C-alpha cells in the first residue's frame, strides 16, 4: 500500500492500462501516468476525473460518483461552484495571471475578506498547507527568539506537537507530525520537535506532559516557540478535549509561546462551524487554513491574531513566488463570499447530524463488526472489525472498492491499520444527495457482508 497525501492510503485496483470505470482514452491516461510517474503517486481508485460539479465527479463517458472525499477536503463548497469558475475566468480575462509580491487589488480584497470572516487582523498567503505550516514555524520561532531572557543566537526554538498529528510532507511540516512511520526519511531533530500525547476528548491529560517532554529534550518551557495542533486529528479523527484546549491556551500565554491551530482540513464549515476551534472555545494565536479556503486552486494562509507576532520577522522572510497568485486569489475571494452570511455553515451542521445518524444506524445493524470511529460535522470515519472487535483492514478495503463500484468515492487512511474509511462529503451536499450516498454505502456494505 502506498501513502497518499495526508497519510491516506487507498487500495484500489492497480493503476495500469486496465480502466475498469472508463473508455480506451481513460486506459491511455492510466497507462501514461503509470509510465511517467513513480508508482508512489498512484494511490487512488482508477477513476479518471473529467469534470466535477457540486457533490459529483464525472468521467469522460459521463458516469458519475458522489464524492465522499471532497477532493481531499478541498471542495467544501462543492466542486466548480459557478461563482468561483466565473471569478477565475474574469481574472484571467483581465490579463493578470501572476504578480509575485507586487500589490494587486485581488490580494487586498482577499486578505481583507479573510480578516472579516475570521476576526484575525492579518494574514500571510501561500499556496499549500505545508507551506503555511512552515510559515507558522518561522513566525513563532522569530517571535520566540526576541523573547526576554533568551540567549541571542542560542539553541533553536522548540516546537511542541502531538503524537498522531499530520501537518504536511515538507521537512518542517513532516517533523512537526506525530506519525513516526511518515518521518523515517527525515533527519531526527528530537530536541527541536517535541511530541506529546494528543489530549483527546475525555482522556486524562495535563500540560505537565509538555513540561516533562521539553525537559527531556534538554530545554526549558521558555524555549518553546509554539504548540501546534489540530482540533481533530485527520489520521484517527480523535478530537481535542475542550478543557485541554483551555489548558494549552493558558500554558502558551504563560510561557509566551504561540498557540497554533492547524485547520487546513477542519476549516470552512467541515465540522459544522466555520472553524473547528469554535467547538473548543479557544482562540489560537496563529490559525492555518488552506484546502476549503479557495475550494479549488492552491491557496493557503497563516492567519495572525496580533500584529506583534510578526514584528521580528525580517522583510521578505515570509514571501513565496506564487503566494498571492491573482487567479488563485480570485477563486479564494469568490469562495470566501459564499461563507459571508453563515447560511452555508448552518446547513452543513444539519447535514453533519444526518451523516452521523445515518452511519450510527448502519453500525448498529452489525455492532460487533462495525464502528463509527469519529464524527464531527461532515467528517466521519467508520471501521470494520472482526467478531472479536479487532480492526479488520481487509474488509474496510473491500467496502471501499464496493463503494466505488456503486458510484461513491471514498478514501481509506493508512492509519488505524488501514481499517477506517474516511468520509468527507462537500459541506454543501444536499439532504437528498447525502441520503443517496448513505444508501450506496449501505448497499456496498451488504455486498461485502454477503460475499
**Which is nearer to ligand PLP, 168 or 374 (by Cβ)?**
168
Q: According to CB under 6 A, which one of 128, 239, 323, 414 is a site residue for ligand PLP?
A: 128
Q: 3-class DSSP state for residue 302?
A: strand
Q: According to CB under 6 A, which one of 70, 76, 265, 335 is a site residue for ligand PLP?
A: 265
Task: Give the count of beta carbons closer than 10 Å to the beta carbon of residue 316.
Answer: 7
Round to whole Å and give the CA distance between 92 and 385: 51
167 near ligand PLP, rule: CB under 6 A: yes
Tell me phi and psi for residue 191, to 5 degrees.
Answer: -90, -5
Q: Which residue has the cell 475578506?
A: 113
6 near ligand PLP, rule: CB under 6 A: yes
x/- track of binding to ligand PLP for residues 225-244 (CB under 6 A) = -----x---x----------
The footprint of ligand PLP on residues 340-379 (CB under 6 A) is: none
Tell me phi and psi for residue 37, to 5 degrees.
Answer: -130, 150
Contact 409, 57 (CB under 8 A): yes
Find the shortest distance in angstroms from Cβ 178 to ligand PLP. 11
Return the half-sphere exposure (C-beta side, CA atoms, 13 A cut-off) of residue 304: 22
Q: According to CB under 6 A, which one of 26, 247, 262, 433 is a site residue for ligand PLP?
A: 262
Longest CA–CA separation in the chain, Å: 67
129 near ligand PLP, rule: CB under 6 A: yes
Judged by CB under 6 A, the stretch of 139-147, 160-168, 182-190, 322-330 that binds ligand PLP is 160-168
Q: According to CB under 6 A, which one of 46, 168, 393, 426 is a site residue for ligand PLP?
A: 168
Is residue 62 exposed (0-12), middle (13-18) or buried (19+ Cβ within 10 Å)? exposed
The footprint of ligand PLP on residues 185-214 (CB under 6 A) is: none
H-assigned helices in 74-160: 82-94, 105-118, 129-145
**Which is nearer to ligand PLP, 21 or 162 (by Cβ)?**
162
55 near ligand PLP, rule: CB under 6 A: no
**Which is nearer to ligand PLP, 6 or 392 (by Cβ)?**
6
Find the shortest distance in angstroms from Cβ 169 to ligand PLP. 6
3 near ligand PLP, rule: CB under 6 A: no
Please provide the distance, in angstroms rounded to a whole number, between the alpha carbons at the two ends of the chain.
23
Instruction: Supply 6's cell numbers.
Output: 495526508
Instruction: Give bridge partners of residue 98 from the DSSP assignment.
Output: none
Judged by CB under 6 A, the stretch of 59-67, 163-171, 268-276, 433-441 that binds ligand PLP is 163-171
**Which is nearer to ligand PLP, 6 or 433 (by Cβ)?**
6
Contact 120, 309 (CB under 8 A): no
Distant-in-sequence, close-in-space partners of 435: CB < 8 Å, separation ≥ 6: 354, 358
Given the rule CB under 6 A, which residues bind ligand PLP?
A: 5-6, 128-130, 133, 166-168, 230, 234, 262, 264-265, 290
Amino acid at each position: 500500500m502506498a501513502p497518499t497525501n495526508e497519510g491516506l492510503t487507498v487500495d484500489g485496483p492497480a493503476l495500469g492500462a486496465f480502466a475498469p470505470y472508463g473508455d480506451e482514452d481513460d486506459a491511455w491516461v492510466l497507462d501514461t501516468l503509470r509510465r511517467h510517474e513513480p508508482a508512489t503517486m498512484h494511490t487512488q481508485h482508477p477513476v479518471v476525473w473529467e469534470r466535477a460539479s457540486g457533490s459529483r465527479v464525472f468521467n469522460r463517458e459521463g458516469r458519475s460518483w458522489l464524492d465522499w472525499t471532497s477532493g481531499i477536503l478541498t471542495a467544501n463548497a462543492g466542486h466548480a461552484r459557478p461563482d468561483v469558475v466565473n471569478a477565475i475566468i474574469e481574472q484571467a480575462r483581465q490579463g493578470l495571471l501572476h504578480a509575485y509580491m507586487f500589490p494587486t487589488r485581488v490580494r487586498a480584497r482577499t486578505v481583507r475578506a479573510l480578516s472579516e470572516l475570521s476576526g484575525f487582523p492579518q494574514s500571510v498567503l501561500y499556496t499549500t498547507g505545508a507551506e503555511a505550516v512552515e510559515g507558522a514555524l518561522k513566525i513563532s520561532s522569530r517571535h520566540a527568539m526576541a523573547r526576554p531572557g533568551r540567549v541571542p543566537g542560542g539553541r533553536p526554538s522548540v516546537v511542541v506537537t502531538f503524537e498522531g498529528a499530520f501537518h504536511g510532507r515538507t521537512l518542517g511540516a513532516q517533523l512537526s507530525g506525530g506519525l513516526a512511520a511518515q518521518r523515517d526519511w527525515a533527519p531526527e531533530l528530537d530536541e527541536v520537535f517535541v511530541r506529546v500525547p494528543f489530549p483527546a476528548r475525555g482522556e486524562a491529560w495535563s500540560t505537565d506532559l509538555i513540561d516533562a517532554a521539553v525537559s527531556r529534550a534538554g530545554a526549558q518551557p521558555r524555549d518553546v516557540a509554539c504548540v501546534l495542533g489540530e482540533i481533530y486529528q485527520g489520521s484517527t479523527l480523535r478530537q481535542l478535549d475542550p478543557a485541554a484546549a483551555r489548558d494549552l491556551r493558558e500554558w502558551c500565554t504563560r510561557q509566551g509561546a504561540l498557540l497554533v491551530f492547524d485547520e487546513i482540513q477542519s476549516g470552512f464549515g467541515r465540522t459544522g462551524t466555520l472553524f473547528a476551534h469554535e467547538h473548543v472555545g479557544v482562540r489560537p494565536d496563529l490559525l492555518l487554513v488552506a484546502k476549503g479556503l479557495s475550494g479549488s486552486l492552491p491557496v493557503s494562509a497563516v492567519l495572525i491574531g496580533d500584529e506583534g507576532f510578526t514584528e521580528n520577522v525580517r522583510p521578505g522572510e515570509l514571501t513565496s513566488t506564487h503566494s498571492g497568485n491573482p487567479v488563485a486569489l480570485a477563486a479564494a475571494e469568490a469562495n470566501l463570499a459564499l461563507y459571508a452570511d453563515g447560511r452555508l455553515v448552518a446547513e452543513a451542521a444539519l447535514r453533519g447530524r444526518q451523516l452521523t445518524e445515518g452511519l450510527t444506524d448502519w453500525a448498529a445493524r452489525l455492532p460487533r463488526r462495525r464502528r463509527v470511529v469519529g464524527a464531527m460535522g461532515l467528517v466521519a470515519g467508520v471501521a470494520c472489525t472482526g467478531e472479536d472487535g479487532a480492526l479488520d483492514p481487509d474488509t474496510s478495503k473491500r467496502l471501499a472498492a464496493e463503494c466505488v463500484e456503486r458510484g461513491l468515492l471514498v478514501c481509506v487512511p493508512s492509519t488505524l491499520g488501514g481499517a477506517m474509511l474516511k468520509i468527507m462529503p462537500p459541506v454543501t451536499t444536499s439532504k437528498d444527495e447525502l441520503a443517496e450516498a448513505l444508501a450506496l454505502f449501505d448497499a456496498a456494505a451488504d455486498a461485502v457482508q454477503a460475499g
